[in-house]
Amino acid sequence: MDINTPVATIYGDLHEKQIERWKTQVSGLRERFGEKIEEVLFPREYPTDTPIVFVRADAICEVLEFLKNTPEFEYGYLSDLTATDEQEAPRFHVVYNLLARKTMTRIRLKVRVAEGESVPTAIGVWPAANWAEREVWDMFGVRFDGHPDLRRILMDVRWEGHPLRKDYPLRGYQFFPTPEPIDPSLLG
Amino acid sequence: MSKDGSAAYFTTRVDAVVNWARKHSLMPMPFGTSCCGIEMMATLCSDYDIARFGAEAIRFSPRQADLMIVAGIVNAKMAPVLKTVYDQMSEPKWVVSMGACASSGGIFNVYSVTQGIDTVIPVDVYVPGCPPTPESLIHAVIRLQEQIQKGETLSLRRERLARAGQLKAVT
Amino acid sequence: MNIQNKDADKQMMQDRVPELGLPSGGHYSVDHDPDDLWGDSRIIVNIGPTHPAMHGALRMVAKLNGETIEKSYCEFGYTHRAKEKLGENRTYHQFVVYTDRLNYCSALINNVTYAMSVERLMGVEVPERAVWIRMICAELARVIDHIICLGINAVDLGAFSFFLYGFHQREEAYSLIEKICGARLTTSYTRIGGLAADAPEGWEKQVKEWVKRTRKVIDEMDELLTGNKIWCQRTVGVGVMSQKFIHDYSVTGPSARAAGLNYDLRRDQPCMFYKDVEFDVPVGQNSDIFDRYLVRLEEIRQSLNIISQCCDRMKKGPIWSEDKRVRIPEKDVVHNTMEGLIHHFKFFMTGFEVPPGEAYTTFEAANGELGFYIVSKGGPAAHRMRIRGPSVYHFQTLSPLCEGGKIGDMVGILGSINIIAGELDR
């Protein structure tokens, strides 16, 4: 018993009904983007709740824009933008969880990024990605090209290191004698 | 007092009267950051009224308050802010560290959390609990009032030492 | 002083220098103020992490022109407790305690969502009575969260009695929660596969009586503010979000519904037994502070409906799944049988194993879409425990909404968006 066993009190068979739609959508994506879709992991074959589409870093904005605006897809909501540290090359996966409100379908996009590489920013598609990308930079150290203001958001601006990486210790304290200063250049 | 019990005047020490007045007119400054802040709000509201103990006048400005109730987590980003606000309060001032997170870091022994605000500012009363029930906070205020009456709080001890010329400067 | 004639004033000030004892020796000038960065008397105001109107520790730095906010930026992270890193270092069973401290005004909803996300990864079915109690707890938590949001919004704008009426009902709700799980605020009530303890005898009756009393109190509170001229003037037309804004900034929950978006995860993506209870989803029109207030008030009434329906339909039964992977054995089994003892030992020393996989599970929390994205690579602890708190995406909207408005409006908008620092900083 694992994720592929549908639980009646958690969404029931909602995802069973969506498998056909996902299949058509994934083949549509492959047709449109060809090689830029690196891999697709589908729910019954891999333990996941929605299809995971691995996209090449340079094509992510096009794919997001396509998914948002094309009639059969209409993934209009960016539910979440985050990252995971896989500890094997390429090290980070930047994860985009999308939601299509009309059909309540979800999909997950992942971009594989090596340490030191960067991903184009999704701000052009959803301004909500602004702070989510800052948090990914703060916690993991993944840069986003074209982001207007990539600085730390959760940790103090003077913090060293990226806390959610697997090699950062849980108890790696740092102390600051003064409060964080105001930056008037941000106010134009 | 005269022999038949009627009171015209009674004698006491100045310290005792002043401390009696101070303890019954605490002006708390709520420094609420997280969950304990909600229980502090509950204590300040009508069900567990802390105004019964004289601590009704909540002042959010450190210049106007004498009791700082630190309710909630203080992390690496917030600790210098806490120190700045504490420095802005004028003597005598008291600090109640409410909750496990403020007293010792609580269940969060992680990179961003200060393991106890007493690493940053001197604390008079610690209240255990996660979050402490309003009754615990009221108990803490009563203990603080007892300490104030006896002159045993850190602030009043500093005052006594300063008057006696024995206070060493802390850099 | 003669305001028109600056030179005469300067001369007069310089003449008075000896008697006033001015330290600068008479070089008194109004021409240049070193704090005037843009040369035209606009000022920077730091509405700092400690401020009465800031809910939790949030910081906003605003450039003011008189009282109008021209530009601002917001900062948070003052209550960051590293829960996502803790999720990787604690077993799934131990992590329930940290989920209460997310949206601490409605701790039970976080517990329920977390339990659902782990149960989904393991394919564990929860018994019926536990699901009904979970629904009652979630709706109870939603009611108290909305009461506190509206109360604080009102207090910031000056209406204190509204807050006190609501708080008394919250205290009664806390007594109910205390009866069922022992704690008022940080409940840690759900377990993976069920609940920690059953509801005591007669708890449902007490909940129904509380629902009756709260309905009357909500009607009184409604009368206090809804037709009040001062409240309307301060809230109608302030902080308007268009539908495009809502899609751009991923706003969910009551703020999105107040803009006319008919979207509620309880109805559209039903989990537990929400398909079997009847409730309406209030949708607003103008999406200003006033509409958000009305939507929340109506949601309280709908939640009270749901609670009384669940209380009627609850039946007796077990409250924890008998699946051996998650069921922690009872104390009499632990103390009297060898298997129970070993099972108990393994649970608490190593934790139970969740099969490899990943899932993003969401639920309609009081503020919006609360999601847990858990990646498991086998093992007793998660590989990645991502908590999608709605407040992060909502706080991002504060700067654009306040631009061009007055500082007084900022206070109202912040209260109506309902930022909870626990969810924001995690």
> Cα(C388)–Cα(C362) distance, rounded to whole angstroms?
9
pLDDT for position B15? 82
What are the pLDDT digits (tens) for B57-103? 888 899 999 999 999 999 999 999 999 999 999 988 999 999 999 99
Cα B63 to chain centroid distance, Å, stands at 15
pLDDT over 60 (residue C25): no
- What is the DSSP secondary structure assignment for residue B4, as one 8-state letter? T
Taking CA atoms, what residue in C is nearest to A52? C358
Q: Does C203 touch chain A (CB under 8 A)?
A: no
Please count the structural domains in chain C: 2
Residue B69's SS3 state is strand
pLDDT tier at C34, thresholds 50, 70, 90: low
C97 pLDDT more than 90: yes
pLDDT in tens, B26-68: 999 999 888 899 999 899 888 898 899 988 888 889 999 999 9
Give kind and range of the element (H or E) at residue B44: helix B35-44
Residue that the structure tokens 């008697």 belong to: C19
Q: What is the pLDDT of residue B129?
A: 92
Residues C60 and C89 in one domain: no
Mean pLDDT of C290-307: 94
Report if residue C22 sits inside a domain.
yes
| pTM for the model | 0.90
Domain extent, residue C107, equals 83-425
Considering C52, C75, C98, which residue would you say is the last residue of a domain?
A: C75
* Residues C50, C170 within the same domain: no
pLDDT digits (tens, 9 = 90+) for C214-257: 999 999 999 989 989 999 999 998 889 888 999 999 999 999 99
Q: What is the per-residue pLDDT for A7?
A: 81
Per-residue pLDDT at A14: 79
Within-domain flag for A54: yes
| Domain assignment present for A8 | no
Please give the order of strands across the beta sheet that includes C43-47.
C43-47, C59-65, C68-75
- Please indicate, yes or no, if residue A2 is contained in any of the structural domains: no
**CA neighbor of C319 nearest in space, from C36, C59, C115:** C115
Predicted local confidence at residue B156, as pLDDT: 84
A180 pLDDT band, cuts 50/70/90, is confident
Three-class secondary structure of residue C322 per DSSP: coil
Q: Rounded mean pLDDT of C158-171? A: 90
The DSSP output letter for B64 is G
**In chain C, which residues have their Cβ closer than 8 Å to the Cβ of A2?**
121-123, 355, 357
Q: Which of C308, C300, C314, C316 is nearest to C278 (CA)?
A: C308
Q: Is residue A119 part of a domain?
A: yes
Show Cβ contacts of residue C275 under 8 Å, excluding neighbours closer than 6 positions. Answer: none
C366 lies in some domain: yes
Residue B9 has pLDDT above 70, yes or no: no
Relative to beta strand B67-71, strand C59-65 is unpaired
Mean pLDDT score, C134-141: 94
Give me the count of residues in chain A.
188
Angle at CA of residue C83, ends C81 and C88, nearest 5°: 140
Q: Does the residue A58 lie in any domain?
A: yes
Q: Is the pLDDT of residue C10 over 80?
A: no
pLDDT band, residue A98 (cuts 50/70/90)? very high
CATH number for the domain spanning C270: value is 1.10.645.10
Classify residue A1: in a domain, yes or no: no
- Asked if residue B94 lies in contact with residue B66, where contact means CB atoms within 8 angstroms, the answer is yes
In this structure, are C49 and C163 located in the same domain?
Answer: no
Judged against a pLDDT cut of 80, whether residue A118 lies above it is answered with yes
- Tell me if C1 is assigned to some domain: no
Kindly determine whether residue B77 and residue A174, on different chains, have CB atoms separated by under 8 Å.
Answer: no
Q: What is the pLDDT of residue B171?
A: 46
Mean pLDDT along residues C405-415: 90
- Residue B68 identity: M
Gap between the Cα atoms of C382 and C370, Å rounded: 18
d(CA C409, CA C423): 24
User: CB A164 to CB C396 under 8 A?
Assistant: no
Verify that C320 and C262 share a domain, yes or no: yes
Give the DSSP letter string of C125-149.
PPPHHHHHHHHHHHHHHHHHHHHHH
Does C302 fall in a domain?
yes
Please state, for a pLDDT cut of 70, what percent of chain C lies above it. 91
A181 touches chain B (CB under 8 A): no
pLDDT in tens, B123-140: 999 999 989 999 999 999
In this structure, the answer to whether residues C263 and C328 fall within a common structural domain is yes
**A5 assigned to some structural domain:** no
Mean model confidence pLDDT for chain A: 89
In a domain, C272, yes or no: yes
DSSP state letter for C424: H
* Whether residue C71 is found in the same domain as residue C215: no
In a domain, A6, yes or no: no
- Per residue in C309-321, pLDDT (tens digit) is 999 999 899 999 9
Q: How far apart are CA A10 and CA C70, in angstroms?
A: 46
Chain C segment 57-76 residues within 8 A of A by beta carbon are 61-63, 71-73, 75-76
Radius of gyration of chain B (CA): 18
Whether C125 and C63 map to the same domain: the answer is: no
| Mean pLDDT value across chain C | 88
**Residue A17, pLDDT score:** 82
Both C88 and C71 in a single domain?
A: no
Please tell me the predicted confidence (pLDDT) of residue A18: 87
If DSSP codes are grouped into helix, strand and coil, which group holds residue C88? helix
Determine what percent of chain C is predicted with pLDDT higher than 90.
Answer: 60
For chain A, the three-class secondary structure string (H helix, E strand, C coil) is CCCCCCCCCCCCCHHHHHHHHHHHHHHHHHHHHHHHEEEEECCCCCCECCCEEEECHHHHHHHHHHHHHCCCCCCCEEEEEEEEECCCCCCEEEEEEEEECCCCEEEEEEEEECCCCEEECCCCCCCCHHHHHHHHHHHHCCEEECCCCCCCCCCCCCCCCCCCCCCCCCCCCCCCCCCCCCCHHHHC
How confident is residue C21, by pLDDT bands cut at 50, 70 and 90?
low
Is A170 touching B (CB cutoff 8 A)? Answer: yes
Number of helices (H) and strands (E), helices first, in chain B? 6, 4
Instruction: Note the pLDDT of residue A188.
Output: 67
Q: Percent of chain A, pLDDT > 90?
A: 48
| Joined tokens for residue C295 | 């939507």
For residues C67 and C96, state if they share a domain.
Answer: no
Domain assignment present for residue C417? The answer is: yes
Q: Do A128 and C272 touch (CB under 8 A)?
A: no
Q: What number of C-beta contacts closer than 8 Å exist between A and B?
A: 34
> Residue A10 has what pLDDT?
84
Residues C235 and C251 in one domain: yes
- Number of domains, chain A: 1
Q: What is the CATH number of the domain that holds A30?
A: 3.30.460.80
C63 and C94 co-located in one domain: no
Domain identity same for C115 and C36: no
d(CA C146, CA C130) in angstroms, rounded, equals: 24
Domain limits at A126? 14-186
